[in-house]
Amino acid sequence: METRELRYFVAVAQELHFGRAAQRLGIAQPPLSRAVAQLERRLGTALLTRSSRSVALTPAGEVLLAEARAALAAVEAAERRTRRAGSTDRPGLVLAVKAGASAELLAKLLDAHAAEPDAVPVDVLLVGIGEQGQVLRDGRADVALLHRPFDDLAGLDVEELGTEGQIAVLPAGHELGTRPELVLADLDGVPGLPAPRWPGPSGVTSGPGPQVRDHAQLLQLIGLGRTFAVLPDSVRGQLPEGLRAVPVADAPAVTTVIAWPPHSRSLAVAGLVRTALRL
Amino acid sequence: METRELRYFVAVAQELHFGRAAQRLGIAQPPLSRAVAQLERRLGTALLTRSSRSVALTPAGEVLLAEARAALAAVEAAERRTRRAGSTDRPGLVLAVKAGASAELLAKLLDAHAAEPDAVPVDVLLVGIGEQGQVLRDGRADVALLHRPFDDLAGLDVEELGTEGQIAVLPAGHELGTRPELVLADLDGVPGLPAPRWPGPSGVTSGPGPQVRDHAQLLQLIGLGRTFAVLPDSVRGQLPEGLRAVPVADAPAVTTVIAWPPHSRSLAVAGLVRTALRL
DNA sequence: CGGGCCGATACCTCTCGGGTATCGATCGGC
DNA sequence: GCCGATCGATACCCGAGAGGTATCGGCCCG
């Protein structure tokens, strides 16, 4: 199987429409139809059920969609990492961090790493919530900080860096902000304060409230009184003036972890991880 | 990048010889030279240093070799898993087990799974030591039993099933077999009894003794008085007549784990894992 | 210094990926 | 119930590029 065929199939499987998929791929519809049909012939399996009015995935098609995405990410990663290994000007590491999260830990880590004798330059790549795994898997980053149980750690090698409780971050002057402590049930369905939505481990977003990409957006929306959030303790240090932080007794503990792609044989990654574990 | 290019590059990188690589790929040498040169042009990096008498990998080439292997395994996995999902006759799972290891646990697991209401048929794939990760990654198996710290768990999702001590397995009548307990140092450099070699997590094999692929081979060689082994407690149940088993006090504990490929969304895998965790 | 090994280059062929035109089926509207 | 619109499949053509053969040019060895 060639990556071209996989790209074509993924496009059709996502769009569920040959015409639109062809347009997205920048080719005409007939070659796309033929390519997918040929893929099905070679695999000996129907991947799509077509009824001239609609296209749907067969169970085998579902399997191939998931597997093809992973395989294409691996190929992309190969390309990107090789390019970076070859370009002499930047031999450093790329560290992916959720924008706005773990700021204090990140600062300490970068300082400690820079003080190492064999320090390699580190670029910080700020990504949206839940995107760290993706950038790690497709080669845009070499290491990432993520948070259990929120982020998807599947397929990554991981070391734990620390655990902390969670606090509710509320708009200035909100009645709940005056209490000394909350439980999750207090925050369930507060009138006029919907929970925000962000990309979860399963890739989908859930909840009724506003859609949010990173912590900065989230804090801004809280400042505007449009939502609230339950976040790790360590965000206290970066709360804008006026927001209220209240411990949430029964919120699950958050573990910050450092992760890297499984077959990374890079000494530079190992060095950064070692530094992180010493903090 | 197409998988064809990656396959070509991997062949050359392994053989370090364009002629032989071309032969292995079933093509002529000139197209291979051109394809690799074109890949280098597209990546903007030299991958190989060629000197008409020898071929060597550049650092970027080393990176691409590792990444390309992973990517090609992912593509193969996509193909195999889709084929199996499509062929109606065998909708079951493939469970990879080191030949001869964890026999008791395996029997219990298969029994318990068969007793489940939604039992899916399970094929057992016996593989050589250290090959479980590979067959999981390239789609030949869906689940595997492996043993920490011996097997390479990088990139796999894992649940622990149990921990046990280790025993030394010695030929009948060997003097060490009469002692009530040993320490690793006792086994270090026993005259006439070299330690066996098998594929380790790093892929290489080390040690001076005979080369071994699985437990059955290993036990046979011990029976012949040619080597010894330090193995998990649970092999006691399958020792052939005459072999001596002696606990090793300071050997690292072995944890048996059940593992599956990270993006497996399969309900069948989840069911088998749940059954295993109940044992 | 000459022969043999090996990768690169030149040049040819033909497969196959991609484009246009069109068909056939299905669904919605009148 | 018919007509038109939509959408995937089919027919047919063209050109890029993958692969083959012949050959060159550098390098080590005898």
Distance from CA of A12 to the nearest CA of B (A): 16
More confident of the two residues A256 and A210: A256
Of A85, A156, A263, which has the smallest distance from its Cβ to B59's Cβ? A85
- Total tally of structural domains belonging to chain A: 3
Span A51-75, average pLDDT: 89
Q: What is the pLDDT of residue B65?
A: 92
Helices (H) and strands (E) in chain A, counts: 8, 10
Instruction: Chain B: give the shortest CA distance to residue A277, in Å.
Output: 19
Q: How far does the CA of B121 sit from the C1' of C6, in Å?
A: 53
Q: Which residues of B touch A81 (CB under 8 A)?
A: 63-64, 67
Chain D positions with a protein C-beta closer than 7 Å: 6-12, 18-22, 25-28
The pLDDT assigned to A110 comes to 93
Q: Do residues B10 and B33 share a domain?
A: yes
pLDDT one-digit tens code per residue, A33-59: 999 999 998 898 889 988 877 888 988
Q: What is the pLDDT of residue B239?
A: 84
- H helices of chain B, where? 3-15, 18-25, 29-43, 59-86, 103-115, 132-137, 184-187, 215-223, 267-278
Q: Nearest 10 degrees: CA dihedral of B64, B15, B206, B220? A: 120
Q: What is the pLDDT averaged over residues B99-119?
A: 87
Verify that A121 and A191 share a domain, yes or no.
no
Do B73 and B101 share a structural domain?
A: no
Whether residues A15 and A150 fall in one domain: no
Share of chain A above pLDDT 70, in %: 95
Residue at token pair 């067969």: A58
**CB B18 under 7 Å to nucleic chain C:** yes
What's the pLDDT tens digit per position in B172-193? Answer: 888 888 888 888 888 887 777 8
Averaged over B210-239, what is the pLDDT?
85
Which domain CATH number covers A153? 3.40.190.10
pLDDT over 70 at A15, yes or no:
yes
B42 Cβ within 7 A of any nucleic strand D atom: no
For residue A255, the Cα-to-chain-centroid distance in whole angstroms is: 16
C-alpha closest to that of B229 among B201, B204, B205, B210 = B210
- pLDDT higher than 60, residue A236: yes
What DSSP character marks residue B176?
Answer: G
Selecting from A47, A70, A81 the residue whose C-beta is nearest the C-beta of B63 gives A81
| Mean pLDDT on B17-35 | 91
Examine the domain organization and report whether B24 and B157 are in the same domain: no
- Domain range for A212: 166-252
The answer on pLDDT for B238 being more than 90 is no
Of B85, B105, B134, the position where a domain reaches its end is B85
Residue A95's pLDDT is 93
Asked whether the predicted pLDDT for residue A160 surpasses 90, the reply is: yes
pLDDT of res. B90: 63
- For chain A, say whether B81 makes contact (Cβ under 8 Å): yes
At A202, is the pLDDT very low, low, confident or very high (cuts 50, 70, 90)? low
Task: Identify the pLDDT of residue B223.
Answer: 85
pLDDT of residue B13: 92
DSSP code of A197? B
**What average pLDDT does this structure show over A187-194?**
79
Last residue of a domain, one of B37, B59, B85: B85
Final residue belonging to a domain, choices A34, A53, A85? A85
pLDDT at A203: 55
Same structural domain for residues B45 and B20? yes
Q: Looking at strand C, which nucleotides approach a protein CB closer than 7 A?
A: 5-11, 17-21, 24-27
| Structure confidence at residue B274 (pLDDT) | 94
pLDDT of residue B55: 86
Q: Does B273 touch chain A (CB under 8 A)?
A: no
* Mean pLDDT of the region B253-276: 90
Report yes or no: B120 at the A interface, CB cutoff 8 Å: no
Among B101, B208, B219, residue whose Cα is nearest residue B150: B101
CB A165, CB A253: distance < 8 Å: yes
My answer on whether B95 and B159 are in the same domain is yes
Q: Do B67 and A155 touch (CB under 8 A)?
A: no
Q: Which of B58, B59, B75 sits opposite A71 (nearest CB)?
A: B75
Provide DSSP, B210-229.
-B-SSHHHHHHHHHTTS--E
Residues A123 and A197 in one domain: no
Do B235 and B102 share a structural domain? no
pLDDT at residue B131, as a whole number? 87
CATH number for the domain spanning B192: value is 3.40.190
Residues A47 and A71 placed together within one structural domain of the fold: yes
My answer on whether B154 and B268 are in the same domain is yes
Q: Where residue B91 falls among pLDDT bands split at 50, 70, 90?
A: low
Are B247 and B259 in the same domain? no
Q: Which nucleotide's C1' atom has the smallest distance to the CA of B37?
A: C8
- Cα distances (Å, whole numbers) of residue B127 to A186, A197, B135: 53, 45, 8
pLDDT confidence of residue B175: 84
Residue with more model confidence, A89 or A215: A215
Instruction: Check if residue B83 sits with its Cβ under 7 angstroms from strand C.
Output: no
Testing the interface with B: which of A43, A65, A82 to mutate, by most B Cβ within 10 A?
A: A82
CATH number at residue A16: 1.10.10.10
Chain B residue whose CA is closest to A44:
B83
Residue nearest to nucleotide C9 (CA to C1'): B30
pLDDT at B109 (0 to 100): 93
